[in-house]
Structure 1
Amino acid sequence: MNVRRRICGLAVLLSLLAAVGGAQDKKREAQLRTVRGVVADKSDSPLSGSVVFLKNVRTNSVRSSYTDDNGNYRFSGLDPNADYELHAEKEGAKSPTRTVSSFDSRKD
């Protein structure tokens, strides 16, 4: 009987820890940022299939993504306390690098 109570108590404890951990994950997710935009040529026509590079200036880690048919790109799950450098490339051409600052508080 003691073993059964301990198992029951452990199951309840694990459930509570999972609930608290899940709430913390949601809070953390809410604090993460998203960068999105459109890659276009000089005449403002969207450029599909461009590669967009996003570099975390603090860690030097780089993420990349292809633009969709409308030239759209999106990076999510970004650290709100880091600055990022962003540029696009297509067929040997490279856009100027832009900086996304951690001080930019605009919401997604």
Structure 2
Amino acid sequence: MTMKSIARTLRTALAAAALLTPATLLLPTAQAWGQAATFRSVSGDVTSKSGDKVKGAVVHLKDTKSLSQRSYITADDGQFKFGQLSTGTDYEIWADMNGDKSAVKTISSFDNKSALTISLKMSN
């Protein structure tokens, strides 16, 4: 190789690197935006008909497409929380305890909030 061809090859490599560097800097940002938009959390509380917090109620969260279910047992304060839920999926959520059940509520994939708060009231 002559000095001219080495210099030309080096200039070509440097030009390619200069063009690709800004694009690679944007990749982590684009990934972070995509991840932020794909998950959500749902939290809330379970109360009795009289408004008291219900400890030990089982809160069910059902994916309406796959029919898979998650469960959470409420703490002393009647609170529950589900995380890492897909924003592109519809869910049904309800609570039950000792034969008593709350109404079933729907979480729509059209609701674009990343954090939802839901109150579930037992029927009796």
> What is aligned with 2:61?
54
More strand by percentage = 2
Post-superposition offset of 1:29: 4.7
> What is aligned with 2:70?
63
Give 5+ residue unaligned stretches, structure 2: 1-26, 116-124
Letter in 2 for 1:60: L
Percent identity, please.
Answer: 39
* Larger relative contact order (Cα-Cα within 8 Å, sequence gap ≥ 6): 2
> What is aligned with 2:113?
106
> What is aligned with 1:16?
none
Give 5+ residue unaligned stretches, structure 1: 1-19
- 1:33/1:80 contact within 8 Å kept: yes
User: Which whole-Å CA distance do the structure 2 matches of 1:74 and 1:29 have between them?
Assistant: 20
> What is aligned with 1:36?
43
Runs of 4+ aligned residues of structure 1 deviating over 4 Å after TM superposition are 26-29
User: Which whole-Å CA distance do the structure 2 matches of 1:102 and 1:93 have between them?
Assistant: 28
TM-score by structure 2 length?
0.63
CA-atom RMSD, angstroms? 1.8
Post-superposition offset of 1:35: 0.7
The answer to whether residue 101 in structure 2 is matched with residue 97 in structure 1 is no
Count of residue pairs brought into register by the alignment: 87
TM-score by structure 1 length?
0.72
Post-superposition offset of 1:27: 5.2
